[in-house]
């Protein structure tokens, strides 16, 4: 099991459907779209200088939206995950 | 539904009328104009090191002015939104 | 009406008289001169990490001096304004 | 014995198995994989401006995941170690 | 009258005598000399996050020394002034 | 005597044995090795904004490990020393 | 008299003897040596956000060591001085 440290969040990234016109795959748009994923593990939060821990803003199981280039891809037991910092998450998809 | 995290604000961007002279579309001015939009969702605010939450400075439904290059464009259920940080908003249009 | 957010200040910029010699417009000097303007609207101020609001240092109606390249130009109902941060203002002209 | 200072952590890096197809070593993927290692020594933690010490977030013996380019390689008594800062650790592998 | 804002200080810059040898003006030295000037107006000081105001460290009428490239030149009613931040002042000349 | 100021530490750098094969000096490896040295003098520590002094984390006589390019070399009475900041020290060699 | 402001320190720089071999001046070494000087005046110290003043760490008359490129050279009444910030001083030579 992977347990993220600090304010890190581990997500499985949703597959993005490629836009097709009559079965032909279109080249990606110039403006990069953010991605969505499902939170599989969360860190305990960021520790401030007072020793206080600020919890992360999402929970396991939530669908979150984040910038395409945010985070680090990690592989663990054959699965691919993305490790993000809490501040990299833009929105929760409800 | 998209629920912005932290001090983020989601807006729908107002269409900018192109300046025309007798129906001819003029090239954009050198100095970029800021854009306006309508706030559709707000985050709970930025969490400080004391664990205090500073609310964002606008409400849903308000028209806001922001720099043309601020924020990240996101698509959700066929609609296009802009995700901005509270500090990127310049003014409320009343 | 435009209501600036945070520590922002909206001014109308004073026209700068061009220096002329016998009616001939002289090229601008190498060293850029700061500009002056009249404050038309002020934000409530900057919010600190304690949730305290530090008010801006000028009032509506005051003439202020600021660096030529500071701020963002905005257009609203046919008028052109400059949106500045409080810290960009150099002096009040009394 | 090496005793790391501040929020530093000393790990022995796990060997990464090269991906092979029928015994032929494949070139590494474009996207760099993070590495794992075993914690062999931890510092007492980071000292804040109040003189408070914030302990590191891992213990000796734990397996940790970190970015491939993080840390400084050191040699001591014939062994090679990696010295990392606590914030460079991404996750604990349980 | 010009009233500087925040921790700004307005000075009139002292003329620097050019070094001459037998009436011939020598080229300036490679190492730029700092300049001196007389304080004509001071701001109330810098406002901290607690709302506390830290007064500037000089008074009107004092002669101060500052780096040649510090500050912004402003013109007001035919006079040229230099607007400096308190931290740009190196020393008081007594 | 040299008395380091603030959080500075003065060390005498240990000589690094060059790797040789049959007496032939080998070119240094691509990856720079950190160096070790002996602490000969320590500063009183870093002074925080509260006027509190945070002592340095090592004592005179200890062997410390630091990055090869850290610190400033100084000469004093024929001897060569390295002046480092406390945060530049990676580990104590016990 | 020059009275340094804030955490500034004014020193007279010690002359560095050039290394000579049989009267021939040798080119300076690649690695720049720090310089020493005598403290002639000290500022009252740095003012923190609480309005507290943190005194400088040296006294008038002390010999100090500093990096060759630190500080600003100033001329006053025919004499050349160096104005340094307290943090630029590396050590006191006792």
| Predicted interface score ipTM higher than 0.90 | no
Residue C1 inside a domain? The answer is no
Per the CB < 8 A criterion, the answer to whether D64 and D88 are in contact is no
Q: Does D78 lie at the interface with F, CB-CB under 8 angstroms?
A: no
In a domain, G2, yes or no: no
Q: What is the CATH number of the domain that holds B42?
A: 2.30.33.40
Tell me, rounded to whole angstroms, the distance of Cα B32 from its chain centroid.
16
Task: Quote the number of domains for chain C.
Answer: 1
Containing F21, the helix (H) or strand (E) segment is: strand F20-21
Q: Contacts of residue A3 in chain D, CB cutoff 8 Å? A: 91-94
Interface check E74 vs G, CB under 8 A: no
Residue-level pLDDT at D19: 59
Q: Give the Cα separation of E62 and G6 in Å (integer).
A: 16
Contacts of D87 in chain A (CB under 8 A): 6
Q: Is residue B19 part of a domain?
A: no
Contact A52 B51 (CB under 8 A): yes
Nearest CA in chain G to E47: G49
Asked, for residue E23, whether it belongs to a domain, the answer is no
Residue E49 with chain C: CB contacts under 8 Å:
48-50, 52, 54
When mean pLDDT is compared across B79-88, C40-49, F68-77, the lowest value belongs to F68-77
pLDDT in tens, E21-70: 676 655 555 445 679 999 999 999 999 998 999 999 999 999 999 988 89
- pLDDT tens, F32-65? 567 999 999 999 999 999 899 999 999 999 999 9
Please indicate, yes or no, if residue F57 is contained in any of the structural domains: yes
What dihedral do alpha carbons F15, F19, F25, F27 form, nearest 10°?
-100
Going by C-beta distance under 8 Å and a sequence separation of 6 or more, which residues neighbour residue G13? G35, G36, G37, G80, G82
Chain G hits for F1, CB-CB cut-off 8 Å, are: 93-94
From chain G, the residues in CB contact with F74 under 8 A are: 33-34, 65, 90-91
For B43, the token pair is 């985050």
Exposed e or buried b per residue across F44-74, where buried means at least 16 C-beta atoms within 10 angstroms of its C-beta: bbbbbeeeeebebbbeeebebbbbeebbbeb
E20, part of any domain: no
Residues within 8 A of C (CB atoms), E 31-70 only: 41, 47, 49-51
Burial (Cβ within 10 Å: 0-12, 13-18, ≥19) of residue B22: exposed
Structure tokens at E69: 């490239």
Q: What percent of chain E has pLDDT over 90?
A: 64
Q: Minimal Cα–Cα distance from E53 to chain G, Å?
A: 8
Closest CA to D65 of A83, A67, A47: A83
CB-based contact A67:A34 (threshold 8 Å): yes
- Measured between beta carbons, the chain B residues lying within 8 angstroms of C83 are 90-91
Residue at D50 is within a domain = yes
How far is E76 from F1, CA to CA, in rounded Å? Answer: 55
Burial class (CB in 10 A: 0-12, 13-18, 19+), G40: middle
Structural domain including D69 reads 8-14+34-93
pLDDT at residue E82, rounded to an integer: 95
**Beta bridge partners of residue E38, listed in sequence order:** E12, E63
Question: In angstroms, what CA-CA distances link C82 with C6, D73, D76?
Answer: 15, 53, 62
CA dist F6 and G89 (Å) reads: 9
User: What does residue A4 show for φ and ψ, rounded to 5 degrees?
Assistant: -65, 145
Q: Which residues pair with D73 in a beta bridge?
A: D82
**What DSSP letter does each residue of D20-46 carry, written as one string?**
EETTEEPPPPSSPPPEEEEEEEE---E
Q: Taking CB atoms and an 8 Å limit, are G33 and F2 in contact across chains?
A: no
List the one residue out of A70, A59, A80, A55 whose CA is nearest residue A2: A80
Q: How is residue C43 written in tokens? A: 């934000």
The SS3 assignment for D88 reads: helix
If you search the block for the tokens 């900057």, which residue do you land on? C46
Half-sphere exposure of F36 (CA within 13 A, CB side): 15
Of the pLDDT bands very low, low, confident and very high (cuts 50, 70, 90), residue A67 is confident
Q: Over the stretch B13-40, which tens digit does the pLDDT of each residue have?
A: 988 665 566 766 555 554 456 799 999 9
Q: Which residue of B has its CA nearest to A54?
A: B51
- Per-residue model confidence (pLDDT) at position D65: 96
d(CA D14, nearest CA chain F) in Å? 19
CA separation for the pair F61, F42 (Å, rounded)? 10
Q: Look at residue G30 in the predicted model and tell me its pLDDT.
A: 44
Closest residue on chain C to E2 (Cα): C93
State how far the Cα of E80 lies from the Cα of C34, in Å rounded to an integer.
Answer: 12
Residue B59 resides in a domain: yes
CA-nearest of C2, C43, C5 to B57 is C5
pLDDT tens digits for chain C (94 residues)?
Answer: 999 999 999 999 988 665 566 766 555 554 456 799 999 999 999 999 989 999 999 999 999 999 888 999 998 988 999 999 999 999 999 8
């Amino acid at each position: 099991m992977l347990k993220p440290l600090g304010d890190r969040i581990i997500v499985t990234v949703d597959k993005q459907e490629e836009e097709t016109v009559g079965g032909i795959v279109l080249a990606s748009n110039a403006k990069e779209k953010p991605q969505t994923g499902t939170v599989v593990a969360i860190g305990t939060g960021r520790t401030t200088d007072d020793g206080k821990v600020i919890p992360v803003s999402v929970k396991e199981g939530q669908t979150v939206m984040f910038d395409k280039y945010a985070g680090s891809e990690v592989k663990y037991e054959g699965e691919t995950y993305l490790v993000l910092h809490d501040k990299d998450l833009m929105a929760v998809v409800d």
